[in-house]
Chain A
Amino acid sequence: MKKILALAMMMVTILTLTACGGSSSGSESKDRVVNVCSWGEYIDEDLIYQFEDETGIKVNYQTAESNEALYSLLKTGAGDYDVIVPSDYMIGRLIAEGMLAELNYDNIPNYALIDARYKGLSYDPDNKYTVPYTWGTLGIIYNTTMVDEEITSWDAMFDEKYAGQVLMIRNSRDALAAALLDLGYDINTTDEAQIREAYELLADAKSKGVYQSFVMDEIFGKMEGGNAAIAMYYAGDYLTMLENNEDLAYVVPEEGSNWFVDAMCVLKNAQHKEEAEAWINFIAGTDANLANMDYIWYASPNAEALEQYPAYYEETYGEELDQETFGIMAAPADVLDRCTLYENLPAETLTLYNDLWTELGI
């Protein structure tokens, strides 16, 4: 009797294991699925249900913390995704490492709606792999009740005067970019001396206690609750914070900054390429872009949607969209002129970034 029981238990164990293995590959199942990995607070979730209703394709929506975290997930094989939404420089790296699949734009007619300004950029010069999702700027967010002056320079992120009140971003590329910009260097520099100098600036500020903490998504609670005075983050997220704390201000510093494009890509080993392209086409559409823009406050690369947004806002909320808000969301040409897109860095510079970032943490 006990033997039978033991055998039964073994069978159950084996069955569960094989069942787990089967469902994750999922290619043989008849249900149509698409696995999407994006950032936190980065989509109007109604769009997911809408897409599922319209197409019958089930969406598994997951999030990663940063481009670097996403890269690790892909490299370790922990993430089994079809569509990802990395930023420009990471796309460049993924393309260089042969991890992305070329898209069949015949399945993505809405690609035509994307403004030419967001096509043919350095990370995907021939427009073979990507469909832009959002774009925006990186800047300084500060609480006007806690800071007496008007902040205009990256100096604020390293100033001892604000010791214990500054939130530094927990992402090597952005953190070092702030330091590079403050020193007057190019954010895409590969000059080791310049990068080390930028690191010294960061490390020095850290040792002087300037940084209250290093944050990514935790920034929302900390800035909204008035727990910190100054932080650096993305324009769209600033507008989300502004909804909960109207004392916050945003500035793209005078030294210039980074402007970024996050774009949808399909992985080379994607199991559901067709479904992935259906999803990308749906998200690139004008209606989806309007809903998304309204929800996440990041500017849309869809020319039609960006143009219609002020009217859409007025219709939805019964009041006019503040021009200043719109200007932060979709930075005007004069601001964009002083911003640079990140480029993929060569392997040795990336290693240097990684080593310096680990060293900073110690």
Chain B
Amino acid sequence: MRNKLPLLSVPYVVWMALFVVAPIIMVVIYAFSSAAGGFTLANFARMGTYTVVFTRSFKLALIATVICLLIGYPVSYMMSKEGPRFQRIAMVLIMLPMWMNFLLRTYSWMSILENNGLLNQLFQKIGLITLYNNVFGTDLAFFRMINTQGAVVLGMVYNYLPFMILPIYSVIVKLDDSLIEAARDLGASTFNVFRRVILPLSLPGVLSGITMVFVPSVSTFAISKMLGGGTEMLLGDLIEQQFLGGAYNPQLGAAISLVMMVIVVVCMWIMNRFGEGEEQAVMM
């Protein structure tokens, strides 16, 4: 009886070992080896040079995560309050962009945000640029949108927003209504019901939403390459460059990846600790 579950889990364990554990071990080995193959710490000694890239990546990923949360939470909350028909349609609309390839979507944003792109042409047509020039006394031919940090954040939010909405929604929609009724019976205001009951109970969804947005954002390279123009490099670009780009140095690339993974894991650990504490505090 007892060994049924382990046997059923064999396919996944095999999968994990082959495609998750083994690559991580390889990253660690690479990070600590020199080009010739011997053990070295030299790859980490150079890490200080890349502090700017680390801070820039974490900053942009953090901003994108906060925006996703600010948009995603209300949407999930409203959705869960509507009828099943509305929920189904809303769900399809949220998932719809994900049916298209991620690179294609980002490419489309490129042509929308370009100096001579769709948005700037629209602004031109409706006279917004002229108006702006008259008001501020500037001499702009277009609004500079692409190749900015804002464009990169936009790309992150656009691509990863569904990963924030879905986990929050799936937690909120399963909330037991009787808990809310009980809180009401005990005289809690609408705000207090939200703050003391709904918010704490939806926290697991929020935490997994944050993880699912933050982690891919911090390591993205396609978005920053296309929308950021490669002038302000992110961690993903830096790592990609060591493996596939102009500078072939897989050992350094592995070392940067390892440092990034450690920082991300520490961030997640702190966040989860904070999350647990919150839940317990509320329960008491």
Contacts and interface: CB of A to CB of B under 8 A. Distances in A.
Residue from the set B8, B11, B230 with the largest chain A CB neighbour count within 10 Å: B230
B153 interface: no
Interface string B117-155: 100000000000000000000000000101100000000
A362 B49 contact: yes
Interface string A154-185: 00000000001000001110000000000000
A170 B246 contact: yes
Interface stretch (A48-56, A116-124, A218-226, A279-287): A218-226
Interface stretch (B168-176, B200-208, B231-239): B231-239
A10 B8 CA distance: 9
A5 B10 CA distance: 12
B248 A13 contact: no
A81 B245 CA distance: 19
Contacts of A76: 243, 250
B231 A69 contact: no
A358 B7 contact: no
A221 B246 contact: no
Interface residues of A, number: 43
B98 interface: no
Contacts of A213: 146-147, 228-231
Contacts of B111: 221, 225
Contact of A227 (B8, B14, B115, B237): B115
Given A2-B8, A222-B114, A362-B53, A68 B245 contact: yes
Contacts of A73: 244
Contact of A172 (B116, B231, B246, B250): B246
A30 interface: no
A359 B49 contact: yes
Contacts of A107: none
A357 B247 contact: yes
A358 B11 contact: no
Contact of A214 (B115, B230, B247): B230
B147 A354 contact: no
Contact of A212 (B52, B147, B226, B242): B147
Contacts of A226: 116
A353 B237 CA distance: 17
A69 B226 CA distance: 17
Given A2-B4, A361-B237, A225 B114 contact: yes
A340 interface: no
A72 B247 CA distance: 9
Contacts of A214: 229-231
B230 A6 contact: no
Contacts of B114: 221-222, 225, 227
A302 B111 CA distance: 38
B246 A357 contact: yes
A234 interface: no
Nearest to B243: A72
Contacts of B7: 3, 6-7
B87 to A, nearest CB: 33
B229 A68 contact: no
Contacts of B115: 212, 227-228
Given A164-B144, A357-B247, A362-B52, A9 B110 contact: no
Contact of A361 (B14, B146, B147, B238): B238
Contacts of B110: 218, 221
Interface of B: 4, 7-8, 10-11, 14-15, 18, 49-50, 52-53, 110-111, 114-117, 144, 146-147, 226, 228-231, 233, 237-238, 241-250
17 contacts: A9-B10, A10-B11, A10-B14, A13-B11, A13-B15, A65-B244, A68-B248, A69-B245, A170-B245, A171-B246, A213-B230, A225-B111, A227-B114, A227-B117, A354-B246, A354-B248, A358-B246
